[in-house]
């Protein structure tokens, strides 16, 4: 059970498939409190990521960070909207702390914390503002709290927390991003970016191969 570059590549393949499946649901969430493009944006971006990875043969010494850096640059140039630069920065920061062949539990925690820092550096949102930070922050916190576990357990704790964090955005009033234009009317709908974060982290777990 190793989290290596092959895992990162499997993660992206599974993320693209899951986000394609969720495309209409994510777009519907964004229709409620945004401009109905989140599912379309991410589907386009992650399809491009898979195409880019397929066109880039893996060298024998490929690091996790090298994969995540390709993901970052591809997302930045293809997703658009608010979420493109946010996810792009998340993967870019994550790439910087994962320039190694294998991730151990501390490295998984570092990956998640770096991604979160990238998102907050770029978007200046904090927990409770009804954004993807409401999934990433609990994910990073849960990973850090699960540091005695295996890499898979650390990731799984993060994914569960992201899922709960996304659900917990439903009653919140948005104060950042496009949804904030709705003010109080943004309450009662799940934040699309928090939901897509939960999907992304669920596929990170699914991509881990059992020993």
**Which residues form the interface with ligand ADP (CB under 6 A)?**
30, 34-35, 37-38, 41, 81-83, 86, 119, 123-125, 131-133, 176-178, 191-194
Compute how many other C-beta atoms are within 10 angstroms of the C-beta atom of residue 107: 17
Least CB distance to ligand ADP at residue 185 (A): 15
Report the interhelical angle of 83-96 vs 105-123 (nearest 10°): 140
Least CB distance to ligand ADP at residue 162 (A): 12
Question: What pairs with residue 129 in β-bridges?
Answer: none
Cα(126)–Cα(152) distance, rounded to whole angstroms? 27
CB nearer to ligand ADP: pick between 64 and 198: 198
CB nearer to ligand ADP: pick between 100 and 124: 124
CB nearer to ligand ADP: pick between 105 and 165: 165
Which residue has the CB atom at the shortest distance from ligand ADP? Answer: 193
Least CB distance to ligand ADP at residue 179 (A): 6
Question: Residue 4 — φ and ψ, nearest 5°?
Answer: -120, -170
Least CB distance to Mg ion at residue 211 (A): 40
**What does 88 bind: ligand ADP, Mg ion, none (CB cut-off 5 to 8 Å by kind)?**
none
**What does 190 bind: Mg ion, ligand ADP, none (CB cut-off 5 to 8 Å by kind)?**
none
**What does 85 bind: Mg ion, ligand ADP, none (CB cut-off 5 to 8 Å by kind)?**
none
Cα(105)–Cα(156) distance, rounded to whole angstroms? 12
CB nearer to ligand ADP: pick between 14 and 131: 131
């Amino acid at each position: 059970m190793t989290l290596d570059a092959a895992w990162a590549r499997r993660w992206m393949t599974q993320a693209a498939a899951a986000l394609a499946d969720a495309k209409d649901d994510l777009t519907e969430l964004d229709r409620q409190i945004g401009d109905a493009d989140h599912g379309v944006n991410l589907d386009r971006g992650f399809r491009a990521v898979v195409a880019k990875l397929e066109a880039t043969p893996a060298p024998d010494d490929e690091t996790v960070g090298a994969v995540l850096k390709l993901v970052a640059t591809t997302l930045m140039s293809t997703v658009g909207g608010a979420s493109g630069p946010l996810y792009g920065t998340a993967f870019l920061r994550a790439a910087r702390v994962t320039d190694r062949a294998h991730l151990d539990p501390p490295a998984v925690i570092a990956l998640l914390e770096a991604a979160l820092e990238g998102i907050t550096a770029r978007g200046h949102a904090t927990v409770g503002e009804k954004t993807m930070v409401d999934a990433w922050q609990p994910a990073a916190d849960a990973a850090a709290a699960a540091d005695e576990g295996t890499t898979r357990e650390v990731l799984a704790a993060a994914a569960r927390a992201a899922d709960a964090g996304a659900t917990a955005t439903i009653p919140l009033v948005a104060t950042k991003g496009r949804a904030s234009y709705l003010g109080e009317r943004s309450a009662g709908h799940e934040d699309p970016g928090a939901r897509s974060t939960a999907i992304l982290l669920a596929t990170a777990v699914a991509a881990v191969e059992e020993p």
